[in-house]
Structure 1
Amino acid sequence: MASGQSQKFSLVALTGMVVGSMVGAGIFNLPGRFGTATGPFGALIAWAIAGTGMYMLARVFQALAERKPEIDAGVFAYAKEGFGDYMGFLSAFGYWLGSCLGNVFYWVLIGSTLGAFFPVFGGGSTITAIVVSLIGIWTFHFLILRGTEQAAFVNSVVTVAKIVPIIVAILALIFVFNYQQFSENFFGGPGMPEKTLFQQVRDTMLITVFVFLGIEGASVYSRFAKTRADVGRATILGFLGVMGLMVAITLLPYAAMPQASIAGLRQPSLAGVLESVVGHWGAVFISIGVLISVLGAYLAWSLICAEVLFAAAKSKDMPKMFAVQNGQKVPANALWLTNIVVSLFVISTYWSRDAFNFMLDMTSVTTLLPYLLVAGYGVLIARRGEGYETVPGERKRDEVISWIAVAYTLVMFMAAGLKYVLLVAVLYVPGTIMYAWARREQKLPLFSSIDVFIFAATAAAGLVGLYGLLSGTITP
């Protein structure tokens, strides 16, 4: 992106960048996850909720970028500014942890994709799949340590590789659309467990969080815009474009297969859907697209993981050793810790009953806290009028948008269920050691009076979660 400082992008180019940053590996798994949970009616309600909530969150990020341009250390910096040092740390640690768990999910998805052709990979958490994942993790690690000049080229190849199979699948599914099959599935197909509409919608909500991860990247491109107004338009157009792709990939399979068959597909389920329509080549075509997309996404998110730790260390929210860069300007210590943690999580998938969905859901939940705190900060500055001196008329609108984003993230926490909240707390408690380390380096007191209360609540939840794991009442 070095040349991007002088180059200015058109509305079309900016929209393409937004789409490229938002369409990830999760879209290939939508048919199976939704098919397991609900029929088309519940899916439409889920997308209406998710689309509204995530759009409001994107608008909050956009507003904060305009009102607080001096805060540029990352998503967690808003939490620190609004809610204190420890909440800023928890936000940074949660965002980093979510990025690490997302990388674990990518390797499980690679294993699951290969498992369709080589049974030794199973569902992505067999010993063979874990060994191959570990080799991949450390191969990427040493490539990244040598520099990241190739990342832009890789990203452009990956964007094409993931969009083309999705468009082909959508066109094929439109061509064979069976209205009778779609209507049979509409309120829940035959052979599916009885569930209320509320349960159906709730069971889809975490997957919608996962597929929208990265929405905060839309405002990052503002400095490349030919005109400032294009940023808002690109955000909306990119969001609507991605939303359209996701809704189509979710709904069209219901017109090609019984819901029970969709629910029984192995992941990536889009491969199974296309195979049922066009034959075996469809599964191979989608699987190749998935592998290229996931490897490219993994490269991007490996850098993001390291950057989050690096930025947090630069702003003194993490130990200063993670602010160290090597000769190629890569945050080496941050990358080492990231890939050690990712490796440990990959090994842990061996004991998971459903590693694929477990890692996907954990990634979503760990990212919700940073999103909640960003939305909360949006409310705070709108109420105070900070940054609205020249546009006082926008205060009320932005406050309403921020409140809706807060409500949405709270609903997502409830949809996740207590199990995932407790498991995330288990990870937050030992993570606080890094906060204590950073505070000691700066010779600052560990906690303020309110931070003591927050840590006590986190520790209590973590102990309950740990007891649940040890006693078997909580299973990954």
Structure 2
Amino acid sequence: MPAPSPEKNKLGLWTSTSLVVGNMIGAGVFLMPAAMASFGSIGLLGWVFSAIGSYFLAKVFSNLSKLLPHATGGPYAYTRSGLGDFAGFLVAWGYYLAVSCANAAITISFVSALSTFFPVLASSAVTAIATGLCTIWLLTYINTRGVVTGGKVQLITTILKITPLVLVAIGGLFFIQVKNFTPFNGSGTSVYAALTATATMTMFAFIGIESATVPAGSVADPEKTIPRATLLGLLIATLVYVLSSFSVMGIIPAASLQRSVTPFADAAVVIYGSSARYWVSAGIAIAAFGSLNGWTLLQGQMPFAIANDKLFPAAFARQNKKGVPYVGILVSSVMVSLFMSMNYTKGLVEQFKFLLLLSLLSILIPYLLSAAAYLIIRVKQKQVNGLTGAVTLAILAFGYALWTIAGTGKEAVYYGFLLLMGGIPFYVWLAYKKNSEAE
């Protein structure tokens, strides 16, 4: 294994923060105001509720990164340290496959956003697939050039993607009409039911909060950088989400907002004129591109960590001259390419949607198990100071993660469980091989 990289070849505070923000803020958030319009302004409370729950998780990940500062793999490393090899393997297995499916969806969002400027992408499946493949493999190349190279791209795209959101959030404050915030609860159900529904929808915008913990071995001064980046990333994303949604809902009447397929673009037109529609569309494309870059960067780290523990094929532990675990990135990019192409193939669209549903639980399980492992790791390290606060935090984070999983629906839970169980035969074979080599 190559010697540890010098600090200049590692991710700093702002690149780590951009990894958190960039992975959380994807193209989907640009559609969120329209998706929640039917509920009324109670949707804003949904954002706040999700932010509070995500804070508990962010705090757990921050504290875990202090307890295990050099643990590459984030949720996998924490789960394995606290709950053992098998639980750690399930987290890594599910996470790796799930993010591959998610990256395919992000690629499709990117191509869709580009169709505003290049209409052929909406009418030609071949052109759309070719564009998607070029994007996937361009970012694959960038991220095999070194973690700092990928981090720089992430920082730039994160700044570019949040710019239109911030412009709408701030500029929209001068165009808000209070009447557009009524009714408060237009769902036709109780306040509790509406709040639960909106919080369930918005919670997906906070997936990726763990991003700074995954490449811990490539982060400078990780025991300080990762906690700061995680909490700072959450703060930035929350402010962008809440303020921009507030402005969009205040500018566009709920009845019109429900029918909008480009809510942020529609709001920007009111604020800045007709040309604003194009730079908001560009922002959506950049959001998808940046999110894809961030998740691609992480795709080599998880299998690298588990391969070093001999719970995954040894090939995934290989690094190139830049110190990048390239095998995991390459294998993932192949899967992303296949999954993305499925969406443009008639007859395979439903299978692609099934894969997304299958992967949903696998992204959320690491949060649940990391919260559970937090207390165990503290006890193992004999850290008894502040134990009451740690127990409270772990319970709140675990409860929120469990509630989040329940909110995904029974289909996601059922198929996600099948995906995780599908890794058991692979684990048994790897464990047997590991034990044979040890003897």
TM-score range, shorter chain: 0.7 to 0.9
Question: What is the aligned partner in structure 2 of residue 40 from structure 1?
Answer: 41
Letter in 2 for 1:35: A
8 Å Cα contact 1:79/1:88 also seen in 2: yes
Within 5 A, what are the aligned runs for 1:392-407? 392-407=384-399
Q: Compared with structure 1, are the counterparts of its residues 402 and 5 closer, same or farther at alpha carbon in structure 2 (3 Å cutoff)?
A: farther
Q: Compared with structure 1, are the counterparts of its residues 237 and 338 closer, same or farther at alpha carbon in structure 2 (3 Å cutoff)?
A: closer
Percent of aligned pairs with the same residue?
Answer: 28
Of 396, 400, 419, the residue aligned with 1:408 is: 400
Question: What is the aligned partner in structure 1 of residue 180 from structure 2?
Answer: 181
Q: Which moved more, 1:347-356 or 1:305-314?
A: 347-356
Greater relative CO (CA pairs within 8 A, separation 6+): 2
Residues 244-291 of structure 1: CA deviation (Å, up to 9, x unaligned): 211112222121112232232326x42343235433322211121222
Question: What is the aligned partner in structure 1 of residue 308 from structure 2?
Answer: 314
2:394 is the counterpart of 1:367: no
Question: What is the aligned partner in structure 1 of residue 62 from structure 2?
Answer: 62
Question: What is the aligned partner in structure 1 of residue 409 from structure 2?
Answer: 417
SS of 1:442's equivalent in the other structure is helix
> Alpha-carbon deviation of 1:179?
0.8
Q: Which moved more, 1:367-376 or 1:150-159?
A: 150-159
Q: Normalization by structure 2: what TM-score?
A: 0.83
Q: Normalization by structure 1: what TM-score?
A: 0.77
Letter in 2 for 1:254: M
Of 279, 282, 287, the residue aligned with 1:288 is: 282
> Alpha-carbon deviation of 1:118?
4.5
In structure 1, C-alpha distance between the alignment counterparts of 2:352 and 2:259, rounded to whole Å = 16
8 Å Cα contact 2:47/2:198 also seen in 1: no
In structure 1, C-alpha distance between the alignment counterparts of 2:198 and 2:314, rounded to whole Å = 40
Of 199, 203, 212, the residue aligned with 1:209 is: 203
In structure 1, C-alpha distance between the alignment counterparts of 2:272 and 2:350, rounded to whole Å = 32
> Alpha-carbon deviation of 1:206?
4.7
Q: Compared with structure 1, are the counterparts of its residues 312 and 264 closer, same or farther at alpha carbon in structure 2 (3 Å cutoff)?
A: farther
In structure 2, C-alpha distance between the alignment counterparts of 1:425 and 1:8, rounded to whole Å = 34
Letter in 2 for 1:273: A
2:167 is the counterpart of 1:168: yes
In structure 1, C-alpha distance between the alignment counterparts of 2:130 and 2:57, rounded to whole Å = 38
SS of 1:56's equivalent in the other structure is helix
Letter in 1 for 2:430: A
8 Å Cα contact 2:72/2:305 also seen in 1: no
In structure 1, C-alpha distance between the alignment counterparts of 2:146 and 2:64, rounded to whole Å = 31
SS of 1:204's equivalent in the other structure is helix
> Alpha-carbon deviation of 1:444?
5.9
8 Å Cα contact 2:16/2:219 also seen in 1: no
SS of 1:393's equivalent in the other structure is coil
8 Å Cα contact 2:160/2:286 also seen in 1: yes
8 Å Cα contact 1:388/1:395 also seen in 2: no
Letter in 1 for 2:375: V
> Alpha-carbon deviation of 1:416?
0.6
Computed over aligned residues only, the root mean square deviation of the Cα atoms, in angstroms, reads 3.7
Q: Which moved more, 1:172-181 or 1:231-240?
A: 231-240
Question: What is the aligned partner in structure 1 of residue 332 from structure 2?
Answer: 338
In structure 1, C-alpha distance between the alignment counterparts of 2:59 and 2:91, rounded to whole Å = 19
8 Å Cα contact 1:319/1:437 also seen in 2: no
Question: What is the aligned partner in structure 2 of residue 463 from structure 1?
Answer: none
Structure 1's unaligned 5+ residue stretches are 446-476
> Alpha-carbon deviation of 1:395?
0.7
In structure 1, C-alpha distance between the alignment counterparts of 2:199 and 2:398, rounded to whole Å = 16
8 Å Cα contact 1:314/1:320 also seen in 2: yes
Q: Compared with structure 1, are the counterparts of its residues 146 and 47 closer, same or farther at alpha carbon in structure 2 (3 Å cutoff)?
A: closer
- How many residue pairs end up in the alignment? 429
> Alpha-carbon deviation of 1:119?
4.7
In structure 2, C-alpha distance between the alignment counterparts of 1:234 and 1:325, rounded to whole Å = 26
Q: Compared with structure 1, are the counterparts of its residues 218 and 294 closer, same or farther at alpha carbon in structure 2 (3 Å cutoff)?
A: same
8 Å Cα contact 1:207/1:364 also seen in 2: no
